[in-house]
Amino acid sequence: MRTGIQWILIGLLAITSVGFAVIALVPSLRSQVQDQFRTHQRRVLATVRGQFMQSRGSLKAVKMIDGEGVFIEFFENGEDGSLKKVYEIRTGHPLDGQFNYRGHMSRLVASDVDHDGLEELLVPTFDEARRPRLNVYKYQPSVNEFQEISSSIPTQ
């Protein structure tokens, strides 16, 4: 025979279980709960060095995430040995991703995908619908900025 306290605990457990199930099954509620736990501080996810510009030496690219989503900051070495931020790219995607590049799981890759002697930046992310994306950014000297070239990469 169960005591009154046991019935109360079983009832609370049942209500809690139903509540968690509703949150898990309703996308809008799930997003609201996830937003409550998502950190709004910057967090470094990956770094890579590469020759992205003809006019500068090697730059350090740092992939980070904050409350607004995934972004990349580029740094060059200062004369005093410090890092100086020279550029920032906002991917527009909220979630970090990774992919298999030449046998290694990577969150950020510098590679010369168009074979012009300068490296492009490969940035895997997930969009709002959790679809994977591989963003490829190339420095365009004519407009002095990094632009996404994912759709213009020739396939072989």
* Helix or strand (DSSP H, E) at 134: strand 132-140
> Same structural domain for residues 129 and 97?
yes
Contact yes or no for 75/84 (Cβ under 8 A): yes
> Same structural domain for residues 63 and 92?
yes
> Same structural domain for residues 21 and 48?
no
Q: Which domain holds residue 30?
A: 4-37
Rounded Cα–Cα distance for residues 40 and 65 (Å) = 9
Nearest CA to 115 out of 74, 154, 146 is that of 154
> Same structural domain for residues 147 and 89?
yes
> Same structural domain for residues 87 and 66?
yes
Domain count, the chain: 2
The pTM of this model reads: 0.71
Kindly give the confidence (pLDDT) of every residue in the chain, 156 residues in length, as a single tens digit, with 9 standing for 90 and above: 678 899 999 999 999 999 999 988 998 888 888 777 766 788 999 999 999 988 888 999 999 999 889 999 999 988 888 889 999 999 999 999 999 999 999 999 999 998 999 999 999 999 888 899 999 999 998 998 999 987 545 444
> Same structural domain for residues 9 and 86?
no
How long is the chain?
Answer: 156
Q: What is the CA radius of gyration of the chain?
A: 22
Longest dimension (CA), the chain: 81
Output b/e per residue, 8-28; b: 16+ Cβ within 10 A: eeeeeeeeeeeeeeeeeeeee
Task: Tell me the backbone φ, ψ of residue 38, rounded to 5 degrees.
Answer: -75, 135
Rounded Cα–Cα distance for residues 83 and 76 (Å) = 6
> Same structural domain for residues 118 and 93?
yes
Rounded Cα–Cα distance for residues 113 and 55 (Å) = 19
> Same structural domain for residues 69 and 106?
yes
> Same structural domain for residues 13 and 66?
no
> Same structural domain for residues 73 and 8?
no
The tokens for 112 are 């010369």
